[in-house]
Structure 1
Amino acid sequence: MPTSPVGHPSEAAKALFSAFEQAVDAVVITGIDNQIRHFNAAAERMWGYCRDEVVGRQVSVLVPLDVREHLDGVIAAKSAMDPRTAVKGRREFRISRKDGSEAWGAFSISRVDYAGKTLYINFIRDVTDDVRDREQNALMALVAEKTDRVVMVSKRDMTIVYVNNAFTELFGYTLAEAMGKHPRDLLTGEYTDNETLERFHAQIDAEGHGQEDILVYDKDGHEIWISSTVNAGRNQAGEVEHLVAVLDDITESKQIHSLQHHVLENLANDMPVVDVIGDLCHRVEAIAPDIVSSVLHVDAEGRLHPLGGPSLPAAFAPVVDGIATGPDVGSCGAAAFLGHAVLATDIATDPRWQLYSSLPLEAGLRACWSTPIKARDGRVIGAFAFYFREVRGPTRWHQTIVDACVHLCALAIERHEARSEIARLAYFDALTGLPNRAQLRQILTGLIDKSKPRDRIAVMFLDIDHFKDVNDTLGHSIGDELLVKVTQRLCRQIRPADTLSRQGGDEFVIVLPNCDVEGAALIASRLLETLLPPMQLGAKLVPVSASIGVSIYPDNAGDIDGLLKHADAAMYQAKQAGRSTYRFFSAEMNRVSEERLAFSTALRNAIVQDALRLHYQPQVRADGRLYGVEALARWSDPVLGEVPPSKFIPLAEEYGLIELIGTWSLREACRQVAAWRRNGIDVPGVSVNLSPINFQNGDLATLVGEVIAENGLSPDMLMLEVTEGVVMSEHSTAVETMEKIRKSGVQLSMDDFGTGYSSLSRLAHLPIRELKIDRSFMRGLESEASALAITRAIIRVGQSLDMIVVAEGVETEGQRRILIELGCDVIQGFVYSPALPVPDFELWFANHETSRAAIALSEMRRQAHPERTLGVVPSVRRIP
């Protein structure tokens, strides 16, 4: 039996102490001196001490040092307690157990007088679990308040019982305003999808959790897209007691990113710009259902052209198309003109819409907000508009969408402009604007495919008489002016359905659908008559005439090549008949074909007997260093005399000799470069022209490798120039051959870029290292803004594709300076030298190197004595 705290126990005391021993709570009895007099079994379990270890010691040994001061105050205050009071309050304190662990106890004190002594009975209940639960709940509440994520707790019936600070910041509702409300009443609005909400609730009821993306509204009515994740809290019986929702604002993070992803994917898949923009508008309207969107393109002349607006009435497009931008041309025209966003909150009263308001108002559109779309160089290239069905302005969400979309639109429009420019260069003649050879073939193919048995199609081949004399005597710029004026006169005489195209040089082809022999003769006569009046070219009045050959489909040929060939043959007949006349193709022209066959025989003999020669034209870098040479075939026949390449190359192509010439040129050029290098003449590389037929030979790559190896050359010293046939070829062999050649280290060059002979739409997908600007652009470079602009564009196109740009046909110092200023990498032409035979080139090379050495010495002196400097050497792009 425990020792009595006051001596020998009475029967009553024994009963009391026995009850203390059976108590669930700890009982610690102390005297007025704070010494422990009794320590029951529950106290031993709570502290881990035996009663013998604590009885007789101060009560402060049972609590940690940091809470003793507080406990001492409580103990001191108990002396003032009324003896008749059984219990005075309840306090919690931290307990240090014997093993070093901690617990929490809630204690109350009773004062009793016994046997003339005052005792204090301390009842301590173990509340460790309660304190820990309370602390955990407090910590969770703190986390909920401090987190950036929105937290909402509701009862089973969805009425809100708690929202955190993030909820208030996002939606504007305080806890007091949200308490007891249903989220549907608080957050949903006009465009919230009720089907999504019902699916969400059904998922929570069935599975106890759910996740959905929902359009909701804040206190001010602004739209917010949220990702809502809800989990049910259940009691021990498994019944749902409350729902905890965590809401993420995904207005930007998901909807905008998803929109960007889809647009970029469409661009990567080469989707046409109208489809890209149309899809963008659809997606924008899906995430902002209260607007109707549209995108307009602004062309180089400042005119508007619809690109997308799938929800606008169909009448919008034809009305808007072609309108010039201006400060009073609606919201889009004004935004494009001014270069900043324009808002018309009420179309009916806005002065900028005065001339155009009827169309949107009839469609129920009351307001319009338009933002300019700008290219990387700052040009306004479009306008992105939001139409509203009520008088209003944009919201924060609308601004977020526009900020993302204008960049996507700019990317799509810039790609569209670049492709349009490439297509224009690929299918239209840069000088006259007429369809070129590639476009003509497409047009003629379409006419033949759609023709009926009785239909007739006339094909005219028109060649200007004595055009070479004009170029040689008056210059190429006057020759170009002549071609433009001839084009203008011819266009006035053909029918709307007819097609006038320029094939290159002074050759034109006219396609006349639904035209028989009589009709073709009438039009040919009219064309010749319109050319009879002399043309004012510069300061001279120049007479002009042309010869025309005509072939008829299907009478003379059933395919394009046959029609063009026979029209060409008929044109030569017109030349022989005295010029300024026309001839129809007939069987008598077989005699002419026989003569041309004899001509081809002479050419074949020249190839076999090694009578052809290569001349070499230097190609000079912008800094004056030799870049390389172009090997050009020349033919001097004992009977025919000097035959220009413009005559014998087409003949070689027609009679299947061009592949032999290409192979011979390849071997001879590599042999010559190797000989030069052995003799100390450092020619960096050589360009060789090959025909499309060469590239259709699957063994070409092997042949090139063998020729390089035979002459001990590095592969990168050889540049093979490709022409129209290679680029236009759909033969997989040609493309595969080009890839093999490029992988071997031999480089490929795109010749005559910009003339329309080559299909440039495939340029970026071909292994081309070099781009050659055609000589025709050089003629007007110093005097014509169009020639300058086209040359600048070609240089930018080439360098943007990491290609070296070479300008051919540079004849004057003025042209050379302009090309240097434009950043052209390499210059080739008479300004440096014509194509030269080997001895003459070697002399030119020696003189050029001597001149460069003198310039280098002068530069060294200038740097040594900068005070004598009179000018600055222009910087140039470094070619790897």
Structure 2
Amino acid sequence: MFASDRLVTEIPDVLRAALERADDGIVIVDDAHRITHFNAAAERIWKLAAADVLGSDAAVLTLNCLHGGATTDFRDEISLARCDGSRIKAQIAMSSANVAGATHRIVFARDVTLDAERRVRIGLLHAVSDQTNRAVIITDVEQNIVYVNSAFTALFGYTSEEAEGRRAGDLIAGRHTDRDAVVSLVRRLMTGGHGGEAELLVCDKDGEEIWVCARIDAFRDKKGRVRHIFALLEDITETKQLRSLQQLIMAALADEAPITEIADRLCRRVEQIAPGVVCSLLHVDAAGLLHPLGGPSLPEDYSRSLDGIAIGPEVGTCGTGAYYGIPVLVADIDADPRWQPYKARPLEVGLRACWSTPIKAKDGRVIGTFGFYYREPRAPSRWHRQIVDACVNLGAFAIERKEARAEIARLAYHDMLTGLPNRAQLRHLITTAIDACPTGGHVALAFLDVDHFKDVNDTLGHAAGDELLIQLAQRLREHIGPEDMLGRLGGDEFVILLPQRNAEAAERVATGITEALAAPLRLGSKLMPMSASIGISLYPDHATDIDTLMQQADAAMYMAKQAGRSTHRLFSAEMNGLTEQRLALIAALRRAIAEGALTLSYQPQIRSCDGAIHGVEALARWHDAELGDVSPAKFIPLAEECGLIEQIGLWSVREACRQMASWRRAGLNIPSVSVNLSPINFRNVTLAARLKDILVEYDLPPDALMLEITEGAFMQDRVAALETMNAIRELGVGLSVDDFGTGYSSLSRLAHLPIRELKIDRSFMRDIEKDAGALAIATAVVRVGQGLGMTVVAEGVETEGQRRTLAELGCDVVQGFLYAPALAPVAFERWLIEHCAEQARAMLGRLAPVDGIAVKRSA
């Protein structure tokens, strides 16, 4: 009997039955390397029948651990080759036993193919999970973490070893985390519901707050029971939360919301995404004074107390930050010396710390502050710093827009040259003064017109005229009371509003002004004698409505001029004859139009690139046998008032085209002529047809004519004006926006108008070499014109420095006294011939050296 036979016989029947029922394959090999036991599970694993292998050599099992008679214990997972050629993953364990002096090896085998495949799949899932940029958390039903991916580690700072086994809520929830939202989702999952999303403010390992979008769902077994809960966490701090601030501000700006409403929306949104923060937005004006714009969670009385406080090195947090232009943190308001004069109210409502960051304009000016108040002494978190970085840019955009709108409003109601209230604002001021006038009181209105102002413009140029008006405005301010108001109607006409002044008091003011103007003004190196004619009307003695009151002051002013100028007159009933004079002036204008007494003078427009002539502007002039030269500033408004302006406009076009045709027949090549038209002309739907007839009559191409319009032409009666403008452009006639930049037009509208040319107003030329603001506006107009494919023409160019500056900006065309004033046709012809000769001489001067070299070389 072999030892193996003894082993088999020695195995009790009960044990043998147990070995047969075992889930693991069990094989016993004797010391002669023969198989002595092979249970049913082993038959399934190796796909061999026990009857076929018992007594056979163990090599049939293809187990390396049995080779060479090895007796050491062995455990491993192997790829097992079976007799039919198939392979499985098997867990093999081998041990040795000494029975009756003989060594037997017992092999335990388990088919783990499915487990291995599952582990491969899990490994792949892990690899995929680690590649996603979303953090993954898997917990058991008690919400203890069993798995986190690498994105979780990157986002929160916890390794998988640090995270696993801890409750998810304890690990990443912060004081401001909405735990109820998570509990509600988990409860729904546990009761068979579907998962859902929640936006949560959580914390990383360092305590920094992070906004995440959490998608929470469950893994269930075949019976639908929850086995694990998983969450996908996406960092939305920047992509959603900060972007929501941008969208909020852009939407508010698009809605044309007031700056205070924009600031309020911004502060409220910040307080939503940064719980525990009390937000504040302040404006810093040009004088360095603070003005609250938004702070919905601050006490209203505290915000009001900040209004008008000057910034400084010891003015709380916001005032100090604005003064130095750097962020300032006061972690303890109560103890900080900068807060001592201001701390009572904040401390009373529980505010203990404040962090303020200055808001800067593009030019570096501090224009506001963005502040965070805290209810405990602390510094800002990383999340708070991210918010502020976004908000200071948004705040700067909103405040700069506010300032731009305020400047536009100022330009709309103030004179560009002097900064005084203009005609529109004066009417409002007069109305206010009349409404405030007590029973028995008076309001005096004085019209002032500069004597012989046209002579200054004609002899010294418009720049000198502008300087005279500026100095005059300054002198007038010095000789009126603090309650009096000075405004400019236009040209050389000023208005002085004198509240609570009777006739005697108003005449004393007028006498004082007349005496003050007796001293000459200095214009550069010249002393310019100065005088003005003043007319006064009185509310309610002379009139009770504004229009009549202004007409009467104007009538009195004309009477002062007729009295020899440099004096004043108080309106009286006898002056009603002035109405007759106005009617006479209107009649004279009608006769001038009918009899051809109006003339056109022509001012050349010169190309910046080569000095060649670009065209001419036709300007209406009126010389009356009795009245003398009547300024266009006088008769053009009069023509508009009495309905003659449309007739003058069409006459100007016809006369300019006639002159152009005459010049072309004479061989003078002038590319185009510009004619000024009133907005009233563009209300006439037949204008394009009339222009076509005129061009055909004089055999001129459409591009020989350019029509100059003011911004008001397309701001009033927009539909009719735009239809007319489109018809004109279809005809081929050019359209030019005159005095661009002085009105209240929309660039977005301008881009869709059929405009070919922009003209920079002469008011920007005077200081373009030394005033950064004037230069910036001229630059902007040039850039707008270039961007829209338009020609840009600068008016009022009187110095070489101005021309050079404009050329450097890329301005296409210039016109002004630098080249010539507006000239009568014959004088213009002489000027043009001389200008062309100068151009030719200059060209020969440039070519002569080159020719000399060529001659020398050929010799």
Which TM-score tier does this pair reach, normalised by the shorter chain? Answer: 0.7 to 0.9
Q: Which amino acid aligns with 1:749?
A: S
The aligned residue for residue 791 of structure 1 is 774
| Contact kept? 1:494, 1:523, Cα under 8 Å | no
Point out where structure 1 has 5 or more consecutive residues left out of the alignment. 64-70, 82-87, 867-880
| Contact kept? 1:795, 1:823, Cα under 8 Å | no
The aligned residue for residue 857 of structure 2 is none
The aligned residue for residue 332 of structure 1 is 318
Shift of 1:825: 4.5
Give the distance between the partners of 1:256 and 1:634, measured in 2 at CA. 62
What CA deviation, in whole Å up to 9, does each residue of 1:830-849 have, x standing for no partner? 21011223343344334333
Which residue, out of 600, 623, 626, partners 2:613?
Answer: 626
Which residue, out of 509, 521, 538, partners 1:526?
Answer: 509
The aligned residue for residue 592 of structure 1 is 578
Give the distance between the partners of 2:478 and 2:496, measured in 1 at CA. 13
Which residue, out of 426, 433, 451, partners 1:440?
Answer: 426
Shift of 1:395: 1.4
Counterparts of residues 770-785 of structure 1 (less than 5 Å) = 770-776=757-763, 778=765
Give the distance between the partners of 1:190 and 1:249, measured in 2 at CA. 18
Alpha-carbon distance change, 184 to 56 in structure 1, aligned in 2, over 3 angstroms: closer
| Contact kept? 2:603, 2:815, Cα under 8 Å | yes
Alpha-carbon distance change, 421 to 173 in structure 1, aligned in 2, over 3 angstroms: same
The aligned residue for residue 721 of structure 2 is 734
The aligned residue for residue 272 of structure 1 is 258
Alpha-carbon distance change, 680 to 531 in structure 1, aligned in 2, over 3 angstroms: same
The aligned residue for residue 116 of structure 2 is 131
Shift of 1:75: 2.1
Q: Does 451-460 or 307-316 show the bigger shift? A: 451-460
Give the distance between the partners of 2:449 and 2:597, measured in 1 at CA. 31
Q: Does 502-511 or 468-477 show the bigger shift? A: 468-477
Shift of 1:222: 2.3
Alpha-carbon distance change, 818 to 121 in structure 1, aligned in 2, over 3 angstroms: closer
Shift of 1:691: 0.5
Q: Which amino acid aligns with 2:779?
A: R
Give the distance between the partners of 1:864 and 1:352, measured in 2 at CA. 77
> Residue 236 of structure 1: SS of its match in structure 2?
coil
The aligned residue for residue 677 of structure 2 is 690
TM-score (norm 1): 0.80
1:151 corresponds to 2:136: yes
1:848 corresponds to 2:835: yes
Alpha-carbon distance change, 132 to 365 in structure 1, aligned in 2, over 3 angstroms: same
Shift of 1:361: 4.2
> Residue 365 of structure 1: SS of its match in structure 2?
coil
Q: Which amino acid aligns with 2:396?
A: A
The aligned residue for residue 834 of structure 1 is 821
Alpha-carbon distance change, 779 to 789 in structure 1, aligned in 2, over 3 angstroms: same
> Residue 317 of structure 2: SS of its match in structure 1?
helix
Give the distance between the partners of 1:683 and 1:719, measured in 2 at CA. 12
1:506 corresponds to 2:492: yes
| Contact kept? 2:137, 2:232, Cα under 8 Å | yes
Q: Does 560-569 or 288-297 show the bigger shift? A: 560-569
The aligned residue for residue 67 of structure 2 is 76
TM-score (norm 2): 0.81
> Residue 216 of structure 2: SS of its match in structure 1?
strand
Higher relative contact order (CA 8 A, sep 6+): 1
Give the distance between the partners of 1:28 and 1:863, measured in 2 at CA. 111
Give the distance between the partners of 2:46 and 2:694, measured in 1 at CA. 99
Alpha-carbon distance change, 604 to 716 in structure 1, aligned in 2, over 3 angstroms: same
Give the distance between the partners of 1:397 and 1:815, measured in 2 at CA. 51
The aligned residue for residue 878 of structure 1 is none
Which residue, out of 506, 519, 526, partners 1:535?
Answer: 519
1:400 corresponds to 2:382: no
Alpha-carbon distance change, 532 to 554 in structure 1, aligned in 2, over 3 angstroms: closer
Give the distance between the partners of 1:744 and 1:315, measured in 2 at CA. 64
What CA deviation, in whole Å up to 9, does each residue of 1:285-312 have, x standing for no partner? 2212232333333444544444333333
Give the distance between the partners of 1:98 and 1:700, measured in 2 at CA. 105
What CA deviation, in whole Å up to 9, does each residue of 1:450-508 have, x standing for no partner? 99999986654332344445666777666555544543454466676654310112212
Give the distance between the partners of 1:688 and 1:629, measured in 2 at CA. 9
What CA deviation, in whole Å up to 9, does each residue of 1:399-440 have, x standing for no partner? 111222222222223323333333322321233321112323
The aligned residue for residue 856 of structure 2 is none
Shift of 1:224: 1.8
Alpha-carbon distance change, 340 to 429 in structure 1, aligned in 2, over 3 angstroms: same
Q: Which amino acid aligns with 1:791?
A: A
| Contact kept? 2:785, 2:792, Cα under 8 Å | no
Q: Does 289-298 or 389-398 show the bigger shift? A: 289-298
Alpha-carbon distance change, 53 to 201 in structure 1, aligned in 2, over 3 angstroms: closer
| Contact kept? 2:94, 2:106, Cα under 8 Å | yes
1:190 corresponds to 2:175: yes
What CA deviation, in whole Å up to 9, does each residue of 1:763-813 have, x standing for no partner? 55333554434445555667xx6xx34422421331343365533233344
What CA deviation, in whole Å up to 9, does each residue of 1:547-572 have, x standing for no partner? 214275797475x5555444423432
> Residue 155 of structure 2: SS of its match in structure 1?
helix
- Identity of paired residues, percent? 50
Give the distance between the partners of 2:569 and 2:699, measured in 1 at CA. 55
Give the distance between the partners of 1:291 and 1:865, measured in 2 at CA. 81
> Residue 412 of structure 1: SS of its match in structure 2?
helix
Give the distance between the partners of 2:744 and 2:38, measured in 1 at CA. 101
Give the distance between the partners of 1:730 and 1:132, measured in 2 at CA. 80
The aligned residue for residue 429 of structure 1 is 415
Counterparts of residues 534-613 of structure 1 (less than 5 Å) = 534-538=518-522, 540=527, 542=529, 544-550=531-537, 552=539, 556=543, 558=545, 561=547, 563-579=549-565, 580-584=567-571, 586=573, 589=576, 591-613=577-599
Which residue, out of 192, 202, 213, partners 1:216?
Answer: 202
Give the distance between the partners of 1:674 and 1:489, measured in 2 at CA. 49
Shift of 1:380: 3.5
Give the distance between the partners of 2:639 and 2:321, measured in 1 at CA. 58
Point out where structure 2 has 5 or more consecutive residues left out of the alignment. 854-859
The aligned residue for residue 383 of structure 1 is 369
Alpha-carbon distance change, 106 to 814 in structure 1, aligned in 2, over 3 angstroms: closer
| Contact kept? 2:779, 2:809, Cα under 8 Å | no
| Contact kept? 2:141, 2:227, Cα under 8 Å | yes
Which residue, out of 165, 171, 177, partners 2:156?
Answer: 171
| Contact kept? 2:498, 2:506, Cα under 8 Å | no
